[in-house]
Amino acid sequence: MADLFVYRAEPPAGLAGNDIVTLVKAQAVAGLNVVTPGAPVQPDAIKADPHGALTDLSAALKTALAAGDSPVKIAMPLPDSLGLDPMLLGGLIGNLITEGARIIEFDARPYIDPDSDASNDGFTLGGLQRPDGFRIGMQMGALAGWPAERIATVAEELQADRYTFAIAQGDDLSKLSSVPEQAMIVLGVVDPDGGSSDEDVLALIDAVAEIVDQDRLALTTSAAITDADAQERVLRQVADISTQFWGFAI
């Protein structure tokens, strides 16, 4: 029986359009098992009013949950990179989990800097309750910018369930082996503008699967989708390729 919480085909956090109901329905129709309200919470909004920003995000989550039956992914910055009390923000994040968020994806790109310390966030995130089916994700940005040893250090501190890397042709895929074995790797490979061929994406997944067990892999786009005309086609491509490779897109 398939693990219903693998979330094999994942949308990017950034989507074209602001109407949450329309976005959620479009993602579900495309065949994605996880949907997102689209725009992540902006760091400045959380810095200015963390309670207010999280209240707005909670409202977006409830709208997304009401719009369909799919699990919902919420994207936001990490506590320490905001310069806020990690325990305070951890409590507010815990509320989102209680309210039904099934993936919370944090932006871990600032920790590519070796002088940035992820240990505070790691402590905070490690203390979050993780109900059945809930996952903590990390948006790592471009794989090319990460030394293998830095991936290992940050992953050990953050202890996330999923790590998303944007991957380009010619990247050193061996660095992905630095992600802990208990975590999944979400491959940001599909062109958000619709320029990827299924064959090229499948070939890259095959190449990664020679390094990392294919059961630990998932698929998404390499960046946010900004082209509204291409969005439905790109989301469907992510789901279709996931089905071709793994047999299912969940």
Tens of pLDDT, residues 181-210:
999 999 999 999 999 999 999 999 999 999
Task: With respect to residue 64, please indicate whether it lies within any of the assigned structural domains.
Answer: yes
Q: Which pLDDT score is estimated for 218?
A: 96
Task: With respect to residue 52, please indicate whether it lies within any of the assigned structural domains.
Answer: yes
d(CA 194, CA 71): 25
The tens digit of pLDDT for each residue in 115-168 reads 998 988 988 888 888 999 999 999 999 999 999 999 999 999 999 999 999 999
pLDDT band at 250 (very low <50, low <70, confident <90, very high): very low
Structural tokens at position 39: 């725009």
Structural tokens at position 215: 């059961």
Task: With respect to residue 221, please indicate whether it lies within any of the assigned structural domains.
Answer: yes
Q: Is the pLDDT of residue 110 over 60?
A: yes
Task: With respect to residue 45, please indicate whether it lies within any of the assigned structural domains.
Answer: yes
Enumerate residues 6+ apart whose C-beta is below 8 A from 182: none
* For range 49-55, the mean pLDDT: 90
d(CA 179, CA 33): 24
Residue written as tokens 């809930």? 134
CATH of the domain at 54: 3.20.20.210
Q: Is the pLDDT of residue 249 over 60?
A: no
Q: Which pLDDT score is estimated for 248?
A: 64
Q: Which pLDDT score is estimated for 4?
A: 64
- CB-based burial, 146-183: b 16+ in 10 Å, e otherwise: beeebbbbbbebbbbbbbbbbbeeebebebbebbeeeb
Residue written as tokens 């390094």? 211
- Looking at every residue in the chain, the average pLDDT score rounds to 92
Q: Are the beta carbons of 79 and 86 closer than 8 angstroms?
A: yes
Task: With respect to residue 9, please indicate whether it lies within any of the assigned structural domains.
Answer: no
Q: Which pLDDT score is estimated for 2?
A: 43
Q: Which pLDDT score is estimated for 180?
A: 96
Task: With respect to residue 2, please indicate whether it lies within any of the assigned structural domains.
Answer: no
Task: With respect to residue 7, please indicate whether it lies within any of the assigned structural domains.
Answer: no
Q: Are the beta carbons of 147 and 112 closer than 8 angstroms?
A: no
Number of compact structural domains in the chain: 1
In terms of residue numbers, what domain contains 179? 20-246
Cα–Cα separations (whole angstroms), residue 131 to 14, 99, 101, 135 = 25, 11, 10, 9
Q: Is the pLDDT of residue 86 over 90?
A: no
- Best CA proximity match to 244, nearest among 9, 3, 4: 9
Q: Which pLDDT score is estimated for 1?
A: 29
Q: Which pLDDT score is estimated for 134?
A: 95
Task: With respect to residue 140, please indicate whether it lies within any of the assigned structural domains.
Answer: yes
